[in-house]
Amino acid sequence: MATTTDSMGLYRTLWRWHFYAALFVIPIVVVLSITGSIYLFKPQLDRLQEASVVRAAERPEVAASGAPRIVTADGRRDAVLQAYPGWTFQYYRLPERAGDPVLIRIAEPAGRQRLDVLVGDDGSVLGAIGKDDWWSEWVSRLHGELLTGDAGSLVVEMAANWAIVMILTGLYLWWPRGRGPAGVLWPRVRDGGIVWRDWHAVAGFWVSGAVLVLLVSGLPWTGVWGDGFKRVRAEMGWDGRSQDWQTSRQAERQQATDEHAHHDGSWASSNAAGSRPSGGATPSQDPTGALPLSHFVEQARALAMAHPVIVTPPGGPKRFGRGAETVWAIRSDSQDRRERTTLRFDPATGRQLGRETFHDQHIIDRMIGYGISWHEGQLFGVLNIVIGLATAAGLLWAVVSGTVMWLGRRDGRGGLGAPPTASGQRRPTWLIPVALLLCALLPMLAVSAAAIWLLERGVLRRVPPVATWLGLTPCAR
């Protein structure tokens, strides 16, 4: 334990910050830990949902009639557009394994709704899943915005900012200060009972590094920090290529609007079904002179890119980019950003026009890509998932043990149970610049901290019962 006046004042100040930060973020941390753990299995969830759609559409008479005829990629797209007249073709996703259905994304004329339609080898439409109706998408929205849109995204971002404060202050409180490893690296047991402070501090220590990485790697997705970084990226000239991540639901809606505005009614994106060869016929050039979808699907198969592999026509959506593709594009949307590659081809000749890989991005974008892949559990395969689950479990245990400590401190005392204030004790002079630096790096922390400071000084301290309950020193009358 610190003995000097300065260190005691610092200890109590950071203890209170740790307490209030935890009190605010604990409910959201629980949600983020559980939903984040589920999202680690996004590929498995998506495959399970697709399988459920296919099972619901199985037709015994087809299975009994022998091998079905195989239609071309153009035929499958035509079947979808015939089933959804007036909708536009956005992209074609190759199956991951032989026998899996093809996924074709279409958009309604106004561009507000998008469907992912599953199509069999014989051109049969097996079913459709709304873009926002994927189970993994629902988990992602709960994780990133608490299912409440941009307002929820701001709450999650603010909680993430305060969770960083909670971790940093918790590490200061954990610091051994001359103690041995017991109670620091592993918890002690006294008289056969649990030392809750040890279990809380030790669990927090072991997961703190991984939690900080998760919190920081999640910032590029947020509304305030992410949009601010996007502007910095543009000012610094780092944005030569499309940003490979989304920042908010508002940005996603803007992207959909831009895609719709850039649709030119070209054959590849919105021409009426039935004007192109289908069934088992060999694809030929369209009357406009453009090569058919099947040509580029065969190209994609030969490239053996990481799943999911997307074939996008001229007029189809770019990946997190503004507007729409002006040429045919084949891209890998692998969650492991290192495997992502985009190739672009001339619509008339099929000649490759360009190639973009992860390693072509600016080093800042690559660093963010590594962080996002780690965050989603896809950077090191199964090991990444195991570490992610262990981190979530350790964080949840720190939450449980911290809550037990808090409830024990409240027993018989009334009030909120906040740590004692550092009134009359000096704090080191470096504390203020460190706090200001954190606020400069985390805008939502700055806004919320300023609001809390004004509320405390202007209202809470002036109401003695409230101040006493919160553990504050009431203002003198």
Residues with Cβ within 8 Å of 383's Cβ and at least 6 positions away in sequence, in order, are none
456 token code pair: 């405390």
Three-state DSSP state, 332: strand
Residue 459 lies in a domain: yes
- Do 114 and 103 meet the contact criterion of CB atoms below 8 Å apart? no
Q: Do 331 and 458 have their domain in common?
A: no
Kindly state whether residue 189 falls inside one of the protein's structural domains: yes
pLDDT by residue for the chain (477 residues), tens only, comes to: 444 556 778 888 899 999 999 999 999 999 999 999 999 999 999 999 999 999 987 765 544 455 567 899 999 999 999 999 999 999 999 999 988 999 999 999 877 899 999 999 999 999 999 999 999 999 999 999 999 999 999 999 999 999 999 999 999 999 988 788 888 898 888 766 678 889 999 999 999 999 999 999 999 999 999 999 988 888 888 766 667 777 766 555 555 555 555 544 443 343 433 334 333 333 344 444 579 999 999 999 999 999 999 999 998 888 765 567 889 999 999 999 999 999 999 999 999 999 999 999 889 999 999 999 999 999 999 999 999 999 999 999 999 999 999 888 776 667 788 887 776 667 788 888 999 999 999 999 999 999 998 998 888 888 888 888 887 877 766
The residue whose two tokens read 């017991």 is 182
162 and 307 both lie in a single domain: no
pTM over 0.85: yes
pLDDT of residue 272: 38
Do 88 and 214 reside in the same domain of the chain? no
Q: CB of 384 within 8 A of CB of 377? A: yes
Same domain, 218 and 272: no
Spatial CA neighbour of 7 closest among 422, 352, 476: 422
Residues 252, 170 share a domain: no
Which tokens in the block code for residue 48? Answer: 């399970």
Q: For position 275, what pLDDT does the model report? A: 39
In this structure, is residue 399 part of a structural domain? Answer: yes
Q: What CA–CA distance (Å, rounded) separates 168 from 178?
A: 20
- Note the pLDDT of residue 124: 94
Question: Residue 231 domain-assigned?
Answer: no
pLDDT at residue number 14: 92
Reduced to 3 states (helix: H, G, I; strand: E, B; else coil), residue 312 is strand
Task: Let me know whether 250 and 361 are in one domain.
Answer: yes
Quick check: is 55 in a domain? no
Please name the residue that has the structure tokens 């935890």: 22
Q: What is the pLDDT of residue 237?
A: 81
Provide the domain limits for residue 9.
Answer: 5-40+141-226+382-469
Per DSSP, which regions of 363-422 are E strands? none
In a shared domain, residues 334 and 435:
no
Helices (H), 312-362: none
Backbone angles phi, psi at 364, to 5 degrees: -65, -45
Nearest to 20 by CA among 424, 440, 468, 416: 416
| DSSP 8-class letter at 93 | E
d(CA 310, CA 73): 13
- What is the rounded CA–CA span in Å between residue 332 and residue 343? 9
CA distance 107 to 269: 10
Beta strands per DSSP E along 166-212? 189-190, 193-194
